[in-house]
Amino acid sequence: MSKRRLFGTFGVRRVANEVLDPEFASLLAGSFGSLVGRRIAVGGDTRTSTPMIKHAIIAGLLSVGCEVVDLGILPTPAVQYATRNYFDGGIIVTASHNPPKYNGIKFVDEFGIGISEDMDIGVEELYFNKNPKRVSWDKIKKLYDNDTIIDEYIDETIKRVDEEAIKKAKLKVVLDCGSGAGCFTAPYLFEKLGCELITLNAQPDGSFPGRDPEPIEENLQDLIAMVKELGADVGIAHDGDADRTIFIDETGSFVPGDKTFALVEKYMLKANNGGLIVTTVATSTAIYDIAEEYNGEVIATAVGDLLVARKLHDEDGLLGGEENGGLIFPDFVYGRDAALSASKVLEIMAIEKTPLSKLIDELPSYFTEKMKVQCDDDIKEEVLRKISDEVSTLGFKVDTTDGVKIFKDEGWIIIRPSGTEPIFRCFAESKSQKDAKEMANWGIALIEKYKGE
Ligand code: MG
């Protein structure tokens, strides 16, 4: 692996025991610990390789004189919450929505925000020089366990919504935990909120036997069928580390993540008489339409929830979000949070006394098409440059905050290399599905053209 290539958009993600083995994890954690020092929280998801990697991380941190608190198996945002309130830094062992063979390491700073690029580089330098600052035997600090954060995280989530209104609505909820870290929080949260709860894949299992951990429509067919069959008010699905929530409405329709974002944005802007919304360049125009109507302001960053989170922190924003269903509530966690996202939508349904499908219908309507295509990491940059060159000669307005976003008469399209996988992603949005699809196909054809050379 070449220098400067360890970190993707948020930490390291690889196949367990290929690059991501105990030696790698220990040395990387020792490098991080050398820079942060003091008290570090460690937690992880339900993956089979998580205990192996987590214990290597703990050894690395202890070797450089950090005090370590093991929070156990819990959602990524629960570690971020704990770090922000009690620790100097945090490490999360998770590969989020990726298949079971993967795992990953995410580093967060004292605010619980994914570490900056400068810090990434600092950690990498120590790693590649094999130079973490080992301490003498008498300076090695203690390892503690803490299993109280989960309950605190659930209670703090509930404090941020109208608990009584949700309880009164007695919503019938089908919850698909996907056998991930949400198994330890989500069922208890919705029970405390008085929901009539039916769970699916609520047994933690790192082989993810029930479904793939990515909460996309094709992976949620069991949930969709159960919502319809049982006449539920809503279906809720989490990804592997429970930072993302996806909803199924009462008719069994999959609600795209940007619709959920738009719904919560509208509700929070109304409640707060405006505010700053932070999102990425890949998010729907609906976010801008709503901000205009309800006295909001929108800032768009490059793709990556840690960039959105940092901007929310620096600019004191009200709400952040991504098109994939990751909402960020900066008064709680500086990162995507599935628990509060889900609770917020239940609150909106309860207070508005309106079915989810109708709440979604009332939002500005755009059609999106998301496609992806394989592309080796080492040619991504060149492919992107050639695409940028070609589209700029065609006279379109272009935004290069992240990848290349092209504004055409019928809508926009963004072509960008993934920071975590050897693929290019291509998102298009338009007022019609046909146009969105045509634009996305055009984008894929551009990528194919240049990666083939
Ligand atoms: Mg995730």
Q: Domains of the chain, with CATH numbers?
A: 12-150 (3.40.120.10), 169-254 (3.40.120.10), 257-361 (3.40.120.10), 367-451 (3.30.310.50)
96 is catalytic: yes
Question: How many whole angstroms from 147 Cα to the centroid of ligand 1?
Answer: 21
Q: Would you tell me how many other CB atoms lie within 10 Å of the CB of residue 392?
A: 14
| The model scores a pTM over 0.85 | yes
Nearest-5° angle of CA 187, CA 237, CA 336?
95
Measure the CA–CA gap between 151 and 156, rounded to whole angstroms.
9
Catalytic residue of the set 31, 34, 63, 96 = 96
How many A from CA of 64 to the centre of ligand 1? 29
pLDDT tens, residue order, the chain (453 aa): 334 567 766 678 899 999 899 999 999 999 999 999 799 999 999 999 999 999 999 999 999 999 999 999 999 999 999 999 999 999 999 999 999 999 999 999 999 999 998 999 999 999 999 889 999 999 999 999 999 999 999 999 999 999 999 999 999 999 999 999 999 999 999 999 999 999 999 999 999 999 999 999 999 999 999 999 999 999 999 999 999 999 999 999 999 999 999 999 999 999 999 999 999 999 999 999 999 999 999 999 998 889 999 999 999 999 999 988 799 999 999 999 999 999 999 999 999 999 999 999 999 999 999 999 999 989 999 999 999 999 989 888 999 999 999 999 999 999 999 877 899 999 999 999 999 999 999 999 999 999 885
What separation in angstroms does the CA of 220 have from each of 104, 174, 238, 343? 24, 12, 10, 20
At 67 the three-state DSSP class reads: strand
Structure-token match 């941020």, residue found = 160
* Contact between residue 75 and residue 338 where contact means Cβ atoms under 8 Å apart: yes
Q: How far is the CA of 140 from the centre of ligand 1 (A)?
A: 33
CA of 449 to the centre of ligand 1 (A): 32
If we measure between CA atoms, which residue out of 360, 165, 136 comes closest to residue 247? 360
